[in-house]
Structure 1
Amino acid sequence: MSAPSPRPGPIARVRRWLRKSLSARIVFVFLGLLLVVQGLSFLAIRASIDHNARAAIAGDLEVGERLLRRLLLQNAAKLTEGATLLAADYGFRSAVTSGDEATIGSVLGNHGERIGASVAALLDTDFKLRASAQADARSLQPVLNRLGQLHDRKAAGDVVMVDNRPFQFVLVPLRAPVTVGWVLMGFPVDQRLVDEMLGYSSLHVILEARPTPQAPWTLLLSTLPQESRSAFLRLEQGVDRDQSGSVVLPSGEYQTRAVPLTEGDVPGPAVSALLMLSVDEAVAPFRQLQLGLAALTVLGVLVFGIGSVLTARRVTTPLRRLAAAAERLGAGDYATPLGGQHRTDEVGDLAHAFERMRINVAGQQEEILKLAYWDSLTGLPNRVQFRNAVVEAMVQAQADRRSIAVVMLDLDRFKHVNDVLGYRFGDLMLKGVAERLSQQAVRNGDLVARLGGDEFAVLLADLEPNDDLAHTRSVAQRLHAAFADVMTLEDHTVDMNASFGMAVWPHHAQDADGLLNRAEVAMYQSKRRNDGPVLYDPAFDAASSQTLTLLGELRHAVDHRELRLYLQPKLALDTGHVVGAEALLRWEHPRRGLVPPMEFIPFAEQTGFIRTLTLWVFEEAARMWRVLNEAGLRITISVNLSTRDLLDVELPQKFEALLVKHIVPAEGFCLEITESSIMDDPQRAMSTLERLSGLGFRLSIDDFGTGYSSLAYLKRLPVDEIKIDRSFVMSMEKDPNDARIVRSTIDLAHGLGLTVVAEGVENAQVWQLLREQACDEAQGFHMSRPLPSSEFISWSTGWTTRLSAMKLKGESRMNVTLH
C-alpha cells in the first residue's frame, strides 16, 4: 500500500485558498498594502523619534557638562574668597611673620571650618608645607606635588585625589607686602555635588578615578540605583571615556558623555565624571504617539478589512452570477437572461457583454443547427438529418414489423453543366431537382434530402414487408422517368439524367450507415451500367470492400513506415557519370511482401491518396539528397507528379515548406509530369507548374510522345527536360521507325533548348545508338535496376570504379553489361 500523502501545511493551505478565491485575494491585497504602508510609517517614525531623542540627549549632556563645570567653579570661587580673606587677616599675617606655628595652625583650622574647607595649609614661597590644620600632613603630598602645575596653569578648582578621595583645591598668595607664602584651601567632591547635578539637570553622574593611564577606572561616586550601579561596574571596562556612547543597564538604555576633571598632561591620578541620561525616559513621551499609531493601525485594518470584504463581495458576487450564467450557456441554455445589466460600472459592462454574447450565441446556435440539419441551397434536409431520420424510421419499423428503403441518386454530367453554364446555373439546376423530387415523391412519412453536391436521397418509410422490394423499384422507376423530362432554366433547356441506387432494410443492411452505404454502392453500379435504377446486390460490395481495405492499408503503411524509397540512376551518355536518379515508391507489406507500384498507385490516383504519397516521396527524396550531397554526390533527384498533384493549388507551398525543413535547394530536384496530367485542366496545371518553376525546380515531361497535344503545349510549358517514353527506346536498335522517332524527338528538344533523357535502356546497343544521336542522359536496366536508397551510394562508388577501369583500358564503346 502506498503511504498517505502528507497534509499540506498552513502556508500551502492559505496559498490554495487565495488561488481559488478572488475575494480573498482582494481582501489580502488591500490589507497587505495597508499593513505595508503602516509598517513602513511606523519604522520611519520610530527611527525619526530615536534620532531626534538621541540628538536632544546629546544636547542635554553637553549642557550638563557646562553645569558640572560651573558648580566646580562656584565651589572654587567660594574657597578662593575664603582663602583671600584669611590671607588679608592682619593677625594671621602677624602670626606668619613671627613664626607662631601653633597660632597659624589654629587660625587655618578655624577659618577652614568656617568656610567649609576640609583642607587648610600654609606653604612657603617654594610651595613647601609650613603649617596645616590636618594632623597627618602626609596625605597632602599629592597636592604638594602638583602645586607648581596648579599655579602655572591657574587651574583653580582642579580635582586631586587625596586618600583615594577627590578634592578641589585653591592657592592664594600671602603678601606682607611681598609674597611670604601661599594659603592652600580644599574641600572634598562628595555625594552632595553629584546629587545637586541630578537635581538640577536630571542627569545621572558617575565619578571615577584611576591612578595611571594603564590602570582600570574605579567608581567613586554615583547617582544610579544600586542595581544599575552593580551592572555598570560589570560593564565599566566597555564604556568609552573619550567620546559619547551608550550603555544598557537594568533600568534602561543610557546615553553617556565623559567629562575629564583633571588635565591629561598633568601627572597624577586622573579623575573623570560620566554624565548619563536615560534614552527610555527621553523617548517615553513619544511611545504614547507610537501606541496611538498602533491603535490607529489596528482600527485601520478593521475598517479596511470590512471595506475590502464589502468591495470584494460587490465585485465577486456578480462575477459568480456571471460564472453560473456562463455554465448555463455551456450547458446549452441560451434562453435564460443573465441579469446584472442594471449596474453602470465595469461589472455592468461585463454583464452587458455577456448578455450580448448570449443573444449572439443563441442566434448562431440556431443558425448552426439549421446549417447542421438543413441544406442552405435547396431547403431540404441534409445528410445528418437524413441519417437521423433513417435511424428513427428503422426503430419505428422494427417496432411495427415493417420495412424501410433508401433510394439514392446522383446527377450525370453535372460537372459539365457547371463548367459550361457556370456555378450559378448549376445552383439553379439543383434547386429544380429538389423541387421535382419533392413533387414526385412520395407519401406522408417519406423524406427527400440533399446529401451533398449533386447527390440526393429519398427515404421510404413504413413499407409492407411482403411488398417492400417491389414498391421501392416502383418509386425509383417513377423518379427515373421524371428525370427524362427536360428542365428549362433561364432560356436554357437541360437534359437531366441521374443514376439511381436502392437498398431495403432489413434485406440489405442491419443499421442506418450500412443501409446508406449499400444504396450508394448500388447507385455507383447504376452509373457504370447506365441502364436505369439498380437494387443493391451483395456481389457489388466485393470490389468496394477491396477498395476500402486497400485505402486503409495504404494509410497504415504511411503511418507505420512500410513505404520504401528506391532510386534508379540516370547517367550522362557522353561521360558515363551518374548525374541523377529517379525516385520510385515501393510498398513493403508485412504479409504480402514487396507490393508492385501498379497494384496501388492507380488506386491512389483514383482516390486522391496519391497526394499523400507524393509528399512522402518528396520528403524522403529531400532527406536522401542531403545524405548524397554530404557523401560528395552532386546529383538531381526526379520526383513524379500525378494529375491530382498538379490540380492541388497548395502543392508549391507544401514543397517549399519541405525544402526549408530539410535545408535543401529546389535546384536539386526535377519534377516529372505526364502529358495526360496537363490535359485534364491545362490552365490550372500551367499555373501550378509556373509557380514550381519559379521556386527553382527543374520540370520534365515524362513519357513524351504518348500524348495527344505534346507540341501544342510544349512551347508554353516552363519545362527543362523531355523524357522519351521507353516504348520508343527499348527496341530502337531493331525498329528503324522507333529510331527515327527518337532522333526526331532529340533534335526537337535540343532545338528548344531542352535536355533529353531516354528511359528503358536495356542493352549496350541502345546505349551506343543514343550516344551517337547526342541524347543527353539515359536510365534503364542496362545500367541499374531501381535500388533501395540506402544502397545507392555503394552502387555509385562501384560504378565510378568500373568506369575508371574501362577508361584506363581505352574502351570507347560500352559494349558490356554495366549493372
Structure 2
Amino acid sequence: MTLRLPAFLNLRRLEGRMVVPFLALLAVVQVSSWTITDASIRANTEQTVRAELQTSQRVLEHLLTQQVEQRAAMLRDFEHSYAIRQLLANADRLSKTDLELSLSHELESKNQRLLKSGLIAYTDSQFKLVAATAPEAPDFAARLPALVLSMAKQDGASTPWQSHLLLRQGRAYLIVAVQVKAVEPGGWLLMADELGAGPLQELRMLSQVKSSFMLRLHPDEAWHTQGSVLNKVQTDALDQQNLHEAGAIKFKLGADDMRGMLRPLVRDGEQELAVLLLRNFDLAFETFDRLRLTLAALTLLGLLTFALASLLMARRISTPIRSLANTADRLGHGDYDTPVQALSGAAEVSDLARSLESMRQGIRQRDAALNELAFKDALTGLTNRAGFSRLATRLLARPGGHCAVLVLGLDRFKHVNDVQGHEFGDLLLRKVAERLGPLLQGDDDVLARLNGDEFALLLNLGDEAAALGLADAIRRNFERPMQLGEQTVDLSAGIGISLAPQHGYEGKLLLTRAGLAMMEAKKRQSGSLIYTPGMDVASQESLSLLGELRHAVEAGELRLYLQPKVDLGRSQVLGAEALVRWQHPVRGLVPPMHFIPFAEQTGFIRTLTTWVIAASIRAWAMAQAQGLPMRISVNLSTRDLLDQDLPDKIMRLLQAHGATSQALCLEITESAIMDDPQRAMGTLAQLSELGFKLSIDDFGTGYSSLAYLKILPVNELKIDKSFVMNMEHDLGDAKIVRSTVELAHNLGLTVVAEGVESAKAWNILAALGCDEGQGFFIARPMPEAHFFNWAKGWQAPDLNGDSTATVLEQLKTDPLI
C-alpha cells in the first residue's frame, strides 16, 4: 500500500511547492536567527567570564598586598616590645652565644603567643643571621638583601607584593622584613610563612571565582597545585590537565565546563609560581536560559503560524489552477471545440483562462507557421540544418546526381559575442549570410545556417574543383573587413568540404563529414580541407581518449605528484605544487602533456581540476597530521577561471575535509586572465575574499597589461623557468628576474622562481631577494606518499660551491633606473 502525502506536503503538487519551500525557508531563517542569538549570548558570557577573571586577579593582588602589610605591622609591634629592646640594648655586654639563645627564646615565645608565623628571625645591620625560630632561617636571610633593595627603590612606598614571594625547594613562601630602629645597633626582623590558601579563600568569599596557586620547578614541566580552594577530587583532576603555558584556558573539570586564566606571580631561577583563576562557565551561562527558551518558543510559534497561513493561501490559488489544468488536458488531446470557461477570482487566473481560449482559437494557424519555421533559421531567414539535409537528400535521389557540401565555421565568433554582446553577434551573422549568398552561382545551390557560427553551402552538380574554387572565393571575400556601425570586424573561417557520391549518399552524412573537415581545417589553420577517412579515425580517437579520461577519474587511475617549494632565504620547505599523472593500465604512466591539452580543448579540464583540488586537500590534511605545516599550490586553467561556480566548488571540497582556504595556493596563467579579463577578475575577487592565496604562474611569458596586474587581487608572482635557467649565463634573463622581483615587491607581492637547477641559481635568486623557489636542484616531482618522508628528512644543500659574484657584479654595474 502506497502512502500518499497530503497535497500541501507533496512537492509535485502546486500546494506543496508553495507551502514547503517557503516554510523551509522560514525555518532556516528562524533557526539561523536563534542559532546566531544563542552564539551571541554564549560570546557575551565568555566576555563576562573573562572580565570576572581579570577582576578577580586584581582582587587577589590586593589581598596579597594586605597580607604583606599586616605582617609588616605585626613585626613593627614586635620591634617595640620591651624584651627585644632590652636584649638589643645590652647586646654588647652579652656573649654571642648568650645573645643568640636569648633572642631565639624571645622570638619563639612571641611567635607562639602572638605572631603564629612559620619562621621569625633577627639579623644584624649587615644581614648576618643572629637568631631564628627555625633551622631553615639562613635560606630566608639570604633573600633579605634583595628584599631590602626592592624596598629602598620604592622610596618609602609599599613594596610590590611580588618582592615578598620566595620559592624554596618546591614550596612558595611569603616573607616580610622591617628594620629595627628603636635601639642601637639596629638590624632586621624577618618573618616567613608558607603561602597557603588563605588569600584564595577570601577571594572565593568575594566572588564566584575559584583559584589555586600553581608551581612548577622547571619551564619544561607542567604546573602542579601549591594551594587551592578546590576539593581533593577537583585538585587531582586539575593536576591531570598538564597545563604548560600561561594565559586563557578552557577545559573540563569533572562534569563542569571551566574557563580559566593562568597568571604568573613570581619566578625564582627555574622555579615559577602562578595563580589559576577558574570560573564555572555552565553556571554563568544558566542566567540566560530563560531568554533562550523564549526565543525557541517564538521560533516554533512563528513556524506554525506561517504554515497555517501558507496552506490557506495555497488552497485558494490551487483550486482554479486545477480547473484550468483539466482544460489544458482537453486541448492537449485535440478537443478544440469546447470553449474555455471563464473563471472568477484573481486577475491572473482570469487572464490565464482568456489566454487558453485564445490559444484554442489560434492553434491551427500556429501549426501551419511552425511547419514552415521547422526548416527556416529565424535569425537569417536561411534554410536551417533540417531543411538543408532534406534538400541535399532530394538532390542525391535524382538519377546520376552529384554535389558538393561546404561547411564554414567562423573564427573567434565566441570572443566577439563575449566582448561586443549577443546583439552585435546576431548582426554579424546576418551580414555574413548577405556576403555568402551572392557567391552561389547555380539556381539549385543552397545556403543554410546550421547553428551558432556555422554555415553550409550546397553546390548542385559541384565537383572538387568547383568546391575548392568557392572556398577560395569565400576566403578572398572575407579578406575585406566588415563594417558594423562604428566597429570594424576582420573575418576568417575554416571550411570543410565533402563530395557526393565519393563521401556519401545522404545529406546528414555529407554534413557530418564536411563538419569534420572544417574542424581539422581550423586545427591546422589551413583555410579549407576536403574530407578524408582519417578524419573519422581522429574523431573516434578523441572520443576514445575522452572516455578513457572519464574512466581514469572513476577508476582511480590518476596519481597526485608533489614538487616541493622552499624558502630561499631560510632554507625551509614551505609547501609543494600539485601535479597530476595518469597511471594507464596499458600505456603506463602517462605524462600530463599527453592529456592535459586535450582536456582543455574538450572542457574535461574542470573535472581534472576538481580531482586535483580534492587530492591536494587530502595531502594537506596528511601533512598537518604529520606535523608538516605547508600550503599546496594548484594550477587553474582558463576554463576553470571562467567558471563562476568555482569558488563555491572549492569551498565545499575544503569543508568536506575539514580544511580552510589557507591550505591552497591557486596558480593562474597570464593567458587565462587575458582571455576574458572581466570574468576572470570577478572569479579572482571572489577567491581572494574567501582567503585563498593567488599566484600568477609563468609570469613574463604572456602579454598581460601592467594595468591589470596593478588591480588583480593576487599575492604572488611566479617567474617562468625559461628566465631562471638561463640567468647564470644570460645577463638579459638575470635583469628580467631582478626587475620582476623588484616589481612584485613594490606591489606587495611575494616571488617564486621556477627552474632552480643549481646552487648558483639558488644563490643568485636569494641575493636578488626572491622569496621562494622550486626546481630539480631542490627535488623533482614525486608521489605524495614519498613527499612526506622527503620533507621530514630534507636538509638544505651546500650552497658554497658555485660563485655568483660575476652575475651579481654585472647587475650592479647596470642598476635599475
Q: TM-score, normalised by structure 1?
A: 0.50
Distance 2:690 2:370 in 1: 42
Give yes or no for contact 1:338–1:355 (8 Å, CA) kept in 2.
Answer: no
The partner residue of 1:522 within 501, 517, 521 is: 517
**Does the 8 A contact of 1:721 with 1:754 survive in 2?**
yes
How well do the aligned residues superpose, as a CA RMSD in angstroms? 4.7
The share of aligned pairs that are identical, in percent, is 50
- Give yes or no for contact 1:722–1:754 (8 Å, CA) kept in 2: yes
Report matched runs for 1:264-663 at 5 Å.
326=329, 329=332, 333-334=333-334, 336-337=336-337, 341=341, 359=360, 374-387=376-389, 389-390=391-392, 392-393=393-394, 397-398=396-397, 400-412=399-411, 414=413, 423-438=422-437, 440-441=439-440, 446-460=445-459, 463=461, 468-470=463-465, 472-473=467-468, 490=485, 498-509=493-504, 512-524=507-519, 534-538=529-533, 544=539, 546-663=541-658
- Separation in structure 1 between the aligned mates of residue 631 and residue 487 of structure 2, nearest angstrom: 54
Q: Which amino acid aligns with 1:582?
A: E
Is 1:727 aligned to residue 699 of structure 2? no
Aligned to 1:89: none
Distance 2:477 2:736 in 1: 54
Supply the AA of the counterpart residue of 1:559: E
Counterpart CA distance in 1 for 2:345 and 2:738 is 88
Q: Note closer, same or farther for the CA distance 1:374–1:791 as it changes in structure 2 (3 Å cut).
A: farther
Give the whole-Å Cα distance in 2 for the aligned partners of 1:675 and 1:321: 57
On the 8 A contact 1:334/1:358 being kept in 2, the answer is no
Q: Secondary structure of the equivalent of 1:553?
A: helix
| Secondary structure, aligned partner of 2:659 | coil
SS of structure 2 residue aligned to 1:587: strand
Deviation (angstroms), 1:552: 3.6
Q: For the residues of structure 2 that align with 1:717 and 1:345, how far apart are their CA atoms?
A: 56
Q: Distance in 2 between matches of 1:572 and 1:486?
A: 53
> Which string of whole-angstrom CA distances, capped at 9 and with x for unpartnered residues, describes residues 45-72 of structure 1?
xxxxxxxxxxxxxxxxxxxxxxxxxxxx
Cross-structure match for 2:752? 757
Q: Which residue of 2 aligns with 1:22?
A: none
Larger-gyration structure (1/2): 1
Q: CA 1:775 to 1:406, structure 2 compared with 1: closer, same or farther past 3 Å? A: same
Q: How far does residue 655 in structure 1 lie from its aligned partner after superposition? A: 2.5
> Separation in 2 of the partners of 1:384 and 1:460?
17
Query: 1:68 matched to which residue of 2?
Result: none
Counterparts of 2:343 and 2:419 in 1: how far apart (Å)? Answer: 61
Residues 751 and 446 of structure 1: is their aligned pair in 2 closer, same or farther, counting only changes over 3 Å? closer
The one-letter amino acid paired with 1:596 is: P
Q: Counterparts of 1:577 and 1:366 in 2: how far apart (Å)?
A: 76
Q: 1:682 and 1:563 mapped to 2: Cα distance?
A: 32
Equivalent-residue separation in structure 1 for 2:344 and 2:748 (angstroms): 78
Residues 327, 340 of structure 2: 8 Å contact kept: no
Cα 1:334/1:815, change in 2 over 3 Å:
farther
Counterpart of 1:632 in 2: which secondary structure?
Answer: coil
| Alpha-carbon displacement from aligned partner over 1:196-222 (angstroms, at most 9, x marks no partner) | xxxxxxxxxxxxxxxxxxxxxxxxxxx
- 8 Å CA contact 2:336–2:361 kept in 1: the answer is no
Once residues 459 and 415 of structure 2 are traced to their aligned partners in structure 1, the CA distance between those partners, rounded to angstroms, is 31
**Gap change, CA 1:654 and 1:627, over 3 Å in 2:** same
After superposition, the Cα gap between the structure-2 partners of 1:740 and 1:511, relative to the gap in structure 1 and judged at 3 Å, is same
Q: What residue identity is the alignment partner of 1:682?
A: P
- Quick one: distance in 1 between partners of 2:483 and 2:741? 54
Structure 2 distance, partners of 1:782, 1:485, is: 54
- Deviations 1:367-392 (CA, angstroms, capped at 9, x unpaired): 987876543311233334444555x4
Are 1:781 and 2:784 counterparts? Answer: no
Gaps of 5+ in 2: 7-321, 803-817
The CA distance in 2 between the partners of 1:743 and 1:457, in whole Å, is 54
CA contact under 8 A between 1:730 and 1:761: conserved in structure 2?
A: yes
Aligned length: 485
Give the residue type in structure 2 aligned to 1:409: L
Q: Residues 741-796 of structure 1, C-alpha deviation per residue, up to 9 Å, x if partnerless?
A: 44444344334332222222233444444445443322222332212223333333
Could you tell me how far apart the structure 1 residues matched to 2:486 and 2:722 are? 51
Secondary structure in structure 2 of the residue aligned to 1:793: helix
For residue 582 of structure 1, give the secondary structure of its aligned residue in structure 2. Answer: strand
Q: Aligned partners of 2:323 and 2:423: how far apart in 1?
A: 51
Counterpart code for 2:457: V
SS at structure 1 position matched to 2:711: coil
Q: Distance in 2 between matches of 1:728 and 1:337?
A: 80
Counterpart position of 1:106: none
Structure 1 435/594 Cα, relative in aligned 2: closer, same or farther at 3 Å? same
Hey, what's the Cα distance between the residues in 2 that align with 1:642 and 1:480? 33
Measure how far apart 1:504 and its partner are.
Answer: 1.6
- CA 449–653 in structure 1, closer or farther in 2 if over 3 Å, else same: farther
Contact 2:380/2:430, CA 8 A, preserved across alignment: yes
Could you list the per-position Cα deviations for residues 338-380 of structure 1 after superposition, in whole angstroms to 9, with x for gaps in the alignment? 568499999x999969955974996998898787654331123
Q: Aligned-pair distance for 1:640?
A: 0.9
Q: Which amino acid aligns with 2:408?
A: L
One-letter identity of the residue aligned with 2:551: H
Question: What whole-Å deviation, never above 9, does each CA across 1:265-303 have from its counterpart, x for those lacking one?
Answer: xxxxxxxxxxxxxxxxxxxxxxxxxxxxxxxxxxxxxxx
Structure-2 separation of matches of 1:738 and 1:541: 46
How big is the shift at 1:698? 0.4
Match of 2:748, SS state, is coil
Q: How far did 1:459 drift?
A: 3.2
Please give the alpha-carbon distance, in whole angstroms, between the structure 2 residues aligned to 1:711 and 1:322: 61
Residues 334, 359 of structure 1: 8 Å contact kept: no
Q: 2:678 — aligned with what? A: 683
Structure-2-length-normalised TM-score: 0.50
Structure 1 segment 65-84 matched on structure 2, within 5 A: none
CA distance in 1, matches of 2:569, 2:623: 23
Aligned pair in 2 of structure 1 residues 709, 374: CA closer, same or farther (>3 Å)?
Answer: same
CA distance in 2, matches of 1:761, 1:361: 75
Deviation at 1:580, TM superposition (A): 0.9
1:524-583 deviation line (CA, Å, top 9, x unaligned) = 455577776543344556655554443343333333332222111222234433221111
Q: Distance in 1 between matches of 2:455 and 2:782?
A: 50
Determine the C-alpha separation between the residues in 2 that align with 1:622 and 1:438: 57
The answer to whether the 8 A contact 1:341-1:349 is kept is: no
2:480, 2:766 → 1: CA distance? 64
User: Which one-letter code corresponds to 1:383 in the other structure?
Assistant: R
Distance 1:373 1:442 in 2: 22
| Equivalent position of 2:288 in the other structure | none
Q: Report if the CA contact (8 A) 1:641-1:673 is conserved.
A: yes
Change (3 A) 1:368 1:686: farther
Map 1:11-30 to 2 at 5 A: none
**TM superposition shift of 1:609:** 3.0
